[in-house]
Amino acid sequence: MMSRTHIVLAVAATSLILGTADPIVLSLGAVCSQLPDVDTTKSFSGRILFPLSSYLEKRFAHRSITHSFLALSFFAILIFPVTFFGYQYYLGMVSGYFWGFFGDVFTKSGVALFYPSKVRAICPANPRLRLSTGSSAEWFVLFILVIFAILSIQINSAGGIVRSFNQALGLPSGAIETVNSDASRYLLKAHIKGRNAITQEPIEKAYEIIQPLNQNDLLVKDELGTTYRVGNSQESQIIASQMKIDRVAPITTTVTNIFLDDEDLYEKIAALPQERTYLSGTLTIFDTDGLIIPTHIDRYDTITLQPASDIAYARLIAATPQEVLRLLGDYYASGNLVVRIVKGK
């Protein structure tokens, strides 16, 4: 096979098998796909690594020892330290080397896959269907591989085969799976078709996703910051019939904790970033005379209150600092809050 065919085959197969569009991983696979041909000085890698290729060429037949599982095992052990930089990089290099020699199985001379056995693996059985290096048949195969590589990279750039399938169908259950896998890395928007659970009016609108609530529902907000529960449960304010997820921008997510022991809530909460900061947890509120937190049926309440005698228990689910300050900022509280801060990269 031509070196370019080895490269495209390695890129396409590595992208598909590892489910990646990472250019570093694919580039490493492409480079390593050239290494099996170091057993001849006429190859691209042989010219670069001439002392090694000259040594191997004098002692071993072409497509023998370097085109075998023995060489692959040695190569995998040799480059194992690469795992310290990233396991995907290591797998990309191993995959590239493998496809760099396995593609030659479809050539007329085949390869000695099980070296030191001299038996050659050749496919297909009909010699007329085997590839000759540089032939029109190989150029046709290269063309197909290029298309396959582009499709694989495109699909993985969009989040993988499962995500693309879910996007195509627009099923809410598939959308929630996508959110679960992407929410920590991307700011997401949900394009929702459905109906208002109370008025039954049709809805077709985009909402920013805050977080999944369970396996069936998402917590979202509109452009005004009003929160809604979207899904198919009885608690949902928006019943979704179709939901598609878009990646808006890469993000970093920081999670910290706030511990309070009969402390002023305002002092603790006012120090937090105000944009895309969400607080969850349970607080015990003291001296609650006059404390009233309204409830709504047409939106999702991120703060709910359970009164007791002279105290109250406030439950927060993805509440914003502004909302906590508005409703609870005048009180002292005890408890633990998980703070999730989302920032763009």
Q: List the beta bridge partners of residue 107.
A: 131
25-43 confidence digits (pLDDT tens): 999 999 999 999 898 888 8
pLDDT score of 268 more than 80: yes
Q: Is the pLDDT of residue 314 over 90?
A: yes
Phi, psi of 303 (to 5 degrees): -130, 125
pLDDT exceeds cutoff 70 at 60: yes
Supply the pLDDT for residue 125.
75
Distance CA 255, CA 45 (A): 48
pLDDT interval class at 3 (50, 70, 90)? confident
Would you state the pLDDT for residue 162?
55
Q: From start to end of 55-116, where are the E strands?
A: none
**Is the per-residue pLDDT at 242 higher than 80?**
yes
Q: Give the model confidence (pLDDT) of 180-231 as tens digits.
A: 888 888 899 999 999 999 999 999 999 999 999 888 899 999 999 999 999 8
Segment 168-182 mean pLDDT: 71
CB 187 within 8 A of CB 278: no
User: Is residue 241 exposed (0-12), middle (13-18) or buried (19+ Cβ within 10 Å)?
Assistant: middle
Average pLDDT on 308-328 reads 91
Q: Is 60 exceeded by the pLDDT of residue 163?
A: no
| Residue 163 structure tokens | 């995500």
Q: How many angstroms from the chain centroid is the CA of residue 306?
A: 39
Residues forming a β-bridge with 263: 333
Average pLDDT over residues 130-151: 85
Q: Distance between CA 132 and CA 106 in Å, rounded?
A: 9
Mean pLDDT of 116-137: 81
Q: How far apart are CA 333 and CA 32, in angstroms?
A: 60
Identify the residue with better confidence: 162 or 65: 65
Is 116 a residue whose pLDDT tops 80?
yes
Beta pairing, strands 238-264 & 303-307: unpaired
Bigger pLDDT: 94 vs 177: 94
Ordered by where they begin, the domains of the chain are 3-157 (no CATH), 162-250 (2.30.30.690), 252-344 (no CATH)
Q: Residue 120's pLDDT is what?
A: 86
**Burial of 146 from C-beta contacts in 10 A (0-12 / 13-18 / 19+):** middle
Q: Which residues contact 333 (CB under 8 A, 6 or more apart)?
A: 260, 262, 263, 265, 283, 284, 285, 286, 314
pLDDT band at 99 (very low <50, low <70, confident <90, very high): very high
pLDDT-based confidence at residue 335 (cuts at 50, 70, 90): very high
Q: Residue 167 has what pLDDT? A: 53
- Model pLDDT, residue 110: 85
Residue 187, CB half-sphere, CA atoms under 13 Å: how many? 15
Res 91 pLDDT > 70: yes
Pick from 286, 274, 273: nearest CA to 328:
286
Position 158 pLDDT exceeds 80: no
Q: Which H or E run contains 117?
A: none
The overall average pLDDT reported for the chain is 88
More confident call, 170 vs 108: 108
Show Cβ contacts of residue 76 under 8 Å, excluding neighbours closer than 6 positions: 94
Contact 96, 29 (CB under 8 A): yes
Q: Does 109 or 203 have the greater pLDDT score?
A: 203
Is 223 in a helix, a strand, or coil? coil
Q: Among 113-122, 147-156, 274-283, 332-341, where is mean pLDDT lowest? A: 147-156
The answer to whether 230 and 224 are in contact (CB under 8 A) is no
Q: Is the pLDDT of residue 94 over 80?
A: yes
pLDDT at 103 over 90: no
The pLDDT value given to residue 160: 58
CB burial string 62-84: b at 16+ within 10 A, e below: bbbbbbbebbbeebeeebeebee
Instruction: State yes or no: pLDDT of 1 exceeds 60.
Output: yes
Question: 30, 50, 32: which is closest to 40 by C-alpha?
Answer: 50
